[in-house]
Amino acid sequence: MQPEPAQTTDADLLRAIAQRDDQALAAFYDRYRLILFGLLVRILNSREEAEDILQEVFIQVWKRAADFDEDRGKAFTWLVTLARSRAIDRLRQLSARERLATATAQEAPPEASDAVQHAYQAEQKEIVAEALAEIPEDQRQTLLLAYFDGLTQTEIATQLKTPLGTVKTRMRSGMIKLREVLGNRSESLRSF
């Protein structure tokens, strides 16, 4: 699959999608399907559920592209927030039993095939991994439990057998540290 010309920014694509350009939607999908699907599988632990949510997310993009405000942040952030929010909602609907069943039925994931996208996203992955490595372990653990497992602060406190106040402090400190470290790498952590 060929990447679309580099000068087509995310904001350009979203403007075109808002004008009902389905080719722009296809291009936007091709640009972010790998990272988004990886995220959804990580949260839902099921390819089937993740594909279902992936489809819902891009239908939402089609319907709500006009709501995207470039001045308020990157399109990638808008998209990821939309996708994660839907995935966490779905995760909270699924019972623990269902989650276990889908996890055991999970197939081996095929590797991402688009070399350009893969190389670009591998670079971003390395930057974020380095940033996470700079955060103390206890803080990183609370961030990851919240972001990928959709646990509330109370659930994290129960799981880690740690006072709720401590969880809140670790989470806030972890986010502040992550923002600080990523801020120093903002040039590298770019979007289209």
Partner 1 sequence: MIHEDHKALLPFVSLSTIDGAEAIALEQHLETCADCRAELDAWHETAGALAYSVAPLEPSAGVRERILAEVRAEAQVGKVNNVVPISRPAAPKQLQPRRTWGFEAIAAAVIFIGLVVGLVALWRQNVRTREDLARLQDQIKVTSSQLDQKQKLLQLLTTPGARMASLAGTKEAPGAHGMLAVDSKSGRAVFMAQGLPPAPAGKAYQLWFIAGKRAPMPGGVFKTDASGEAMMDDQLSADALTAGVFAVTLEPQDGVRAPTGPMYLLTPA
Nearer to partner 1 among residue 14 and residue 54 (C-beta): 54
135 scored as a contact of partner 1 (CB under 8 A): no
Among 11, 18, 94, 132, binds partner 1 (CB under 8 A): 132
190 scored as a contact of partner 1 (CB under 8 A): no
Nearer to partner 1 among residue 42 and residue 99 (C-beta): 42
Closest C-alpha among 110, 114, 128 to residue 31 = 114
Task: Give the contacts of 148 (CB within 8 A, at least 6 positions apart).
Answer: 42, 43
Contact map string, positions 79 to 98, toward partner 1, x by CB under 8 A? -xx--xx--x----------
Q: For the chain, how big is the Rg over CA atoms in Å?
A: 18
Is residue 13 within 8 A of residue 7, CB to CB? The reply is: no
**The Cα angle at residue 145 between residues 143 and 147, in degrees rounded to 5:** 65
Separation CA 176–CA 178 (nearest Å): 5
Among 74, 99, 138, 162, binds partner 1 (CB under 8 A): 74
Among 41, 46, 141, 192, binds partner 1 (CB under 8 A): 41
Separation CA 160–CA 73 (nearest Å): 33
Closest C-alpha among 78, 14, 69, 80 to residue 43 = 80
Binding stretches for partner 1 (CB under 8 A): 20, 22, 25-26, 29-30, 33-39, 41-42, 47, 50-51, 54-55, 58-59, 62, 72-74, 76-77, 80-81, 84-85, 88, 109-113, 117-118, 121-122, 124-125, 127-129, 131-132, 143-144, 146-148, 150-153, 156, 168, 171-172, 175-176, 178-179, 182, 189
